[in-house]
Amino acid sequence: MLAPVQMLSATRQNLWRLTFIRILVLAAQAGSVGIAWLFDFLPLPWLQLSITLGCSLVLCGLTVIRLRTSLPLTELEYALQLALDLLIHSALLYYSGGSANPFVSYYLVPLTIAAATLPWRYSLILSGFALTMYTLLMVRSYPLETDSIARENMQVYGMWLSFALAASVITFFAAKMAEELRRQEQLRAERREEGLRDQQLLAVATQA
């Protein structure tokens, strides 16, 4: 009876971490878009990007409200949350260069989280969804009129920032996951010791 409770509790904690990551990534994305708009680095569709970032903010708010309820959180719901992250990221890429955007590598972050926290079937479905979105971006995206020098600069700085962001997120989540696994292992060990102690007391009481 303890296993389902532990699974649901771990899923809820992972969704809290995912929400925290979302807020950090959203702040970085909004800051990047704001700087690009302020200094007129790129001719981006600002309205569409702002709406997409607004949807991401709404998702963060709704997820926090959901986590404050007492309803159990399932692995399916957690997988859907990751799918929404992939969808929003795809929309941002669509309006900012498509598959040529260096931030396309951020697809790996939700997939890494899924592989670390969900059964393989959910990870497989999410991988297929991400691959489909990536393929569609290769075929079609919002046209950007930029010269080759500006595009090259965007690629260089974008790849560095994308790597730094992805590495930070994956490291943070992996560290928290490892910490949670150690905590659960310690809890199981304590329960085993309590069980053995109870058995010994019962054996002594029976002999008496």
Q: Tell me if residue 39 falls in helix, strand or coil.
A: coil
pLDDT at residue 5, as a whole number: 42
Do the domain assignments include residue 9? yes
Do the domain assignments include residue 18? yes
Structure tokens at 87: 């969808």
Domain count, the chain: 1
Domain ranges, residue 94? 3-146
pLDDT at residue 126, as a whole number: 96
Q: pTM of the predicted model, to two decimals?
A: 0.78
For 10-55, the DSSP string reads HHHHHHHHHHHHHHHHHHHHHHHHHHHHHTT-S---HHHHHHHHHH
Position 42, amino acid: L
Do the domain assignments include residue 49? yes
Do the domain assignments include residue 14? yes
Which residues touch 97 (CB under 8 Å, ≥6 apart)? 141, 144, 154
Residue 102 main-chain phi, psi, to 5 deg? -65, -20
* Ordered per-residue pLDDT tens for the chain, 208 residues: 444 444 446 778 888 888 988 898 898 888 888 887 887 777 788 899 999 999 999 999 999 999 998 888 888 999 999 999 999 999 999 998 888 888 888 898 899 888 888 889 999 999 999 999 999 999 988 777 666 666 666 667 777 877 887 788 778 777 777 677 677 777 777 788 877 777 777 766 676 5
